[in-house]
Structure 1
Amino acid sequence: MTQAIALATPALVLPALVASADERSQRRFLEFFAVTIRNPHTRRAYARAAGEFLGWCDARGVTSIAGVQPLHVAAWVEQLGKEVSAPTVKQRLAGVRHLFDWLVTGQVVPVNPAASVRGPAHSVRRGKTPVLAPDEARRLLDAIDVTTSAGLRDRALIGLMVYSFARIGAALAMRVEDVFVQNRRLWVRLHEKGGKRHEMPCHHNLEEYLTAYIDGCELRDQARGPLFRTIRRGTKRLSESPLPQASAFQMVRRRAVAAEIATAIGNHSFRATGITAYLKNGGTLERAATMANHASTRTTQLYDRRSDDVTLDEVERVLI
């Protein structure tokens, strides 16, 4: 049974403290990742946190998973805070805390050693995601050579993130059938985090980009296939495989360099760029939150970078 669960989570390697435990403890550990977590990114992050923490404990003489104490967790958090950012520390601590909660309810350990350990204080009022100015975003889109399948795909993907505020994960999870006509306009269906389905009408530019991509790459008859795909080597045509997120990031950086954009943008930059442009042109925060599928406008405010212009104007007042 333990081997079957391990096969369901192939990227997971048992830490030494777990590997030396009995089979019931090993199974419970694996079940935490295979049963309780559906999001692959969360599973990967929590598995990394658990592996690093238990490896850290093993290197300091802890002999069993039941021997982990709150002091071990606190010391690990203290050291981690000197190496990575506060949000990363909080995320990894959350992973360890949830894991031990699961082990407690499975009667593998008597108490959760991470339950009482506080993470670092962290308050965010402004997002750190690099944002493009509207003319930079326009230059990036116009610089893409759309005489190739790769160019049509890349322009459609970037346009989708800019004009519909789509997360990269939701964009790459789309199928061809998620681009559809409703009320004589093109719409997109995004499958967001937590299993939420979010539908948006297309901006006229996005409608042009998606139509050109789907027709130019002959995707209309492949409704159940992935919308954004890798390029076959040699043929320079679309494959049947969905485009990985890491490949999308590399594509974005290549396109930015080609367009001579110095800002160190990533996949998430286009979501922030679109939201900021919308708000600058009279859009409301409440509508922006709805369009971005945010549960709270407080989250949307992190993407609002209109104050950057004011800050730059004020800095230029230092006339020396």
Structure 2
Amino acid sequence: MRVVRFDRVRTSVRRGLLAGQRLHQLARGGHHHRAHPRDRPDRARLRRQAQLRGRDHGAQRGQPRQHVRGPGLGAAAHLGPPGRQRRVPLPLARRQARPRRGQAQARRLDLRPGAEPIARARVLAEPPAGVEREYLDHLRVERALSANTLEAYGRDLSRLSAYARRRKRSVLDLGQADIAGFIGDLREHGLSARSVARAVHALRGFFRFCLREGKLRVDPMENLRAPRAFTALPRYLTPAQVEGLLDAPDVTTPLGLRDRAILEVLYATGLRVSELVSLRPSDLDMEVGILTCFGKGRKERLVPLGAQARRWTARYLEEARPRWAPRRGAAELFLSNRGARLSRMGLWGIVRRHALTAGVASTLTPHVLRHSFATHLLERGADLRALQAMLGHADISTTQIYTHITRERLRKVYDQYHPRA
């Protein structure tokens, strides 16, 4: 009988060679090769079963045999004694092999269609150290900036540190040309003009801090300007869309009751996400209809709470929250079903899920409800200064962005005040 050779099969591994020959003969309509004496089942073996990667661990004694299928072959049983483990021929094993680790990760990390690459991926995971950490401590203790602002500034300083290390220099040795190159590098890696402007603002404060502390003699950011960030009009919902969104949760369940209370409070107060998730039951005065919250910089402000929001919040406090509060003992107002504090991403998921249910928008965020709150108040004649106080803006110029009005409102004002309308 002619012996078929496989060039890629090691001749020292006799079992693999025999298995490959037998599969090849099956494909050509040949006969089985006679088993080697060492492969006979009646011969006792005291060997530890090999658990090597790439092997086919066959069935044990008393179990049905597994089958393999290759291109052009029918379902062929593994040949050999039922109690022995057989090696799959290398060509077949390579076709059935799992993808390499790097290839599998590349598929998991593919961006969804339409998504932009994340520029922070090039930043090292290590937190800022040295003078950068001193600056962040200064912002947290003396300036009382919020945790989200500190996190964003920390990312910007980490990018600057990574940029300086690639040039084998320290951050304090960077000149004006280096900073300009760093800003251009941020734009090349996908950051928007608004994000680059925030990074320039963070670096400007950082180098001023170093100059004031005597660590620098010249400010490299003195004559640099941030790229112009075009002001985009805020997105908002119509009153009919808001009603559809508020009616989306199933209030017969505890989670639906919680979600309805969250949506009602968001639209009734215009709170930020971080302000809402940090609320406590003691911050609500249900009789007067006033809500106390802490905004950016730990600034306290009072916001009116409407009758509908109070009614749904009271139902949530009576029916849903007592079920979850004893599990973790969290003190916040809105909890998850595990009794823990509701996270920012969890709140974002709640709003988006009910937006899809109501058919409002596919990418609705909690901040859109804040925009809707401000827009609807201005359309009905609210004072800009009162709106500034309710939103917690330090500068009224930030509130003026909500002075955009719909065409119907513009036409109504024109018809009312123009002498020849």
| 3-state SS, counterpart of residue 115 of structure 1 | coil
1:274 pairs with 2:381:
no
Residue in structure 1 matching 2:163, options 31, 56, 64: 56
1:29 pairs with 2:132:
yes
Residue in structure 1 matching 2:199, options 75, 84, 92: 92
Deviates more, 1:100-109 or 1:71-80: 100-109
The answer to whether the 8 A contact 1:77-1:89 is kept is: yes
Counterpart CA distance in 1 for 2:394 and 2:139 is 23
Offset at 1:191?
1.1
**Equivalent position amino acid for 1:51 in 2:** S
| 3-state SS, counterpart of residue 46 of structure 1 | helix
Residue in structure 2 matching 1:149, options 246, 254, 257: 254
Counterpart CA distance in 2 for 1:65 and 1:300 is 37
Offset at 1:215?
1.2
Structure 2: runs of 5 or more not aligned:
1-123, 412-421
- Name 2:311's counterpart in structure 1: 208
Deviates more, 1:223-232 or 1:46-55: 223-232
The answer to whether the 8 A contact 2:352-2:362 is kept is: no
- Name 1:133's counterpart in structure 2: 238
Normalised by the length of structure 1, the TM-score is 0.78
Compute the RMSD of aligned alpha carbons: 2.8
Deviations 1:105-164 (A, max 9, x none): 34444433223311112353x533x21111111111111111222222222222112111
Residue in structure 2 matching 1:13, options 118, 123, 126: 126
- Name 2:171's counterpart in structure 1: 65
**Equivalent position amino acid for 2:316 in 1:** Y
Deviations 1:66-109 (A, max 9, x none): 32111011122133234322221110111122222233334444
Counterpart CA distance in 2 for 1:296 and 1:158 is 27
Computing the radius of gyration over CA atoms, which structure comes out larger, 1 or 2? 2
- Name 1:189's counterpart in structure 2: 292
| 3-state SS, counterpart of residue 268 of structure 1 | helix
The answer to whether the 8 A contact 2:321-2:335 is kept is: no
- Name 2:269's counterpart in structure 1: 164
Counterpart CA distance in 2 for 1:91 and 1:265 is 24
| 3-state SS, counterpart of residue 282 of structure 2 | helix
- Name 2:383's counterpart in structure 1: 284
**Equivalent position amino acid for 2:337 in 1:** I
Q: 1:311 to 1:53 in 2, by over 3 A?
A: farther
Q: 1:305 to 1:156 in 2, by over 3 A?
A: farther
Deviates more, 1:146-155 or 1:134-143: 146-155
The answer to whether the 8 A contact 2:255-2:320 is kept is: no
Offset at 1:268?
0.5
Counterpart CA distance in 2 for 1:140 and 1:261 is 7
Offset at 1:310?
6.8
Deviations 1:8-57 (A, max 9, x none): xxx97256xxxxxxxxxx54332222342241111111111111122123
